[in-house]
Amino acid sequence: MEAFMRADQYQFIKKQAKKLVNGHSAANDPAVLKALKAMVLESVIALFSTISDEQKLVLESIIDVNDQEKADIYIENLQPYVTPFQTTEPMVKKLFPKAKKIKVPSLDHMDLLGTSYLSWFDPGTNKKYLVTKLDDQWIGLQGSFRPLNKKGICALCHQYEDVGMFLVEEKGKVQGTFTKRGNYICRDAEVCNQHIVTLDHLGEFIDRVKK
């Protein structure tokens, strides 16, 4: 069976498995646990607009998770069905034709199964870059990034983390003018990716800064 889930769906399912682990450690009432299993399974299946019987069978085994060991085994068994974040340095550079000195980080040590977007700060250009794929289209953003040195809500993952202001500058309608749009995003892209359980917020952020 081929891969059929995105990184954000994979991260969502991981959190649901953790919810089951916590539920079993906190409750002994069979009715409560039965309801929790039903709720978790329904939310996992609802991630996919179309799903085959074989794919559904893989997902349904989440209801057997009742401790951390079984959760780890379940998540490990899901990994072959996750589409990893796949790009190359030439592909990334093509998204930023005006950034002649851009340096793309190596993907060799990244958790590509859990990555919804690639982001890095390039001191050579003093820019922060963000690369993702939405609706089968590769998108690249570059802008300034100013750390806040405090926690806030990230526009991409909607979690309370160390954030900074990411601003994209676009040419205005009047010659010689520029418009800046952006929002607070996580300083650590790896941590942010672990929190992303839907691409909705990422898509909304890109739409906002590219208006």
Range name among 11-15, 88-92, 165-169, 172-176 with the lowest pLDDT average: 172-176
Residues of the chain with pLDDT > 90, as a percent, come to 74
What integer pLDDT is reported at residue 174 of this predicted model? Answer: 62
pLDDT band at 125 (very low <50, low <70, confident <90, very high): confident
pLDDT above 80: residue 116? yes
Show the tokens assigned to 69: 């060991």
pLDDT band at 98 (very low <50, low <70, confident <90, very high): confident
Range name among 14-18, 107-111, 183-187 with the lowest pLDDT average: 107-111
Ramachandran sector of residue 47 (left: φ over 0; alpha: ψ -120 to 50; beta: rest): alpha
Give the closest residue to 116 by CA, choosing from 46, 33, 189. 189
| Contact between residue 48 and residue 55 where contact means Cβ atoms under 8 Å apart | yes
Give the closest residue to 133 by CA, choosing from 92, 93, 164, 165. 92
What integer pLDDT is reported at residue 173 of this predicted model? Answer: 64
Cα(201)–Cα(28) distance, integer angstroms: 36
| Contact between residue 32 and residue 40 where contact means Cβ atoms under 8 Å apart | no
Give the distance, in angstroms, between the CA of residue 62 and the centroid of all CA atoms in the same chain: 21
pTM > 0.85: yes or no? yes
* For residues 160-185, average pLDDT: 84
Give the distance, in angstroms, between the CA of residue 203 and the centroid of all CA atoms in the same chain: 11
First and final C-alpha spacing in the chain: 39
Please tell me which residue, 62 or 177, carries the higher pLDDT value.
Answer: 62
Show the tokens assigned to 128: 């922060």
What integer pLDDT is reported at residue 177 of this predicted model? Answer: 62
pLDDT above 80: residue 140? yes
What integer pLDDT is reported at residue 103 of this predicted model? Answer: 86
pLDDT tens-digit map of 29-68: 999 999 999 999 999 999 999 999 999 999 999 999 999 9
pLDDT above 70: residue 172? no
Cα(120)–Cα(128) distance, integer angstroms: 6
* Number of neighbours of residue 63 by Cβ within 10 angstroms: 17
DSSP 116: S
pLDDT, the chain, mean: 92
CA–CA distances in Å: residue 18 to residues 12, 13, 21: 10, 9, 5
What integer pLDDT is reported at residue 77 of this predicted model? Answer: 96
Q: Which residue matches tokens 């039965």? A: 34
What integer pLDDT is reported at residue 108 of this predicted model? Answer: 81
Residues of the chain with pLDDT > 70, as a percent, come to 97
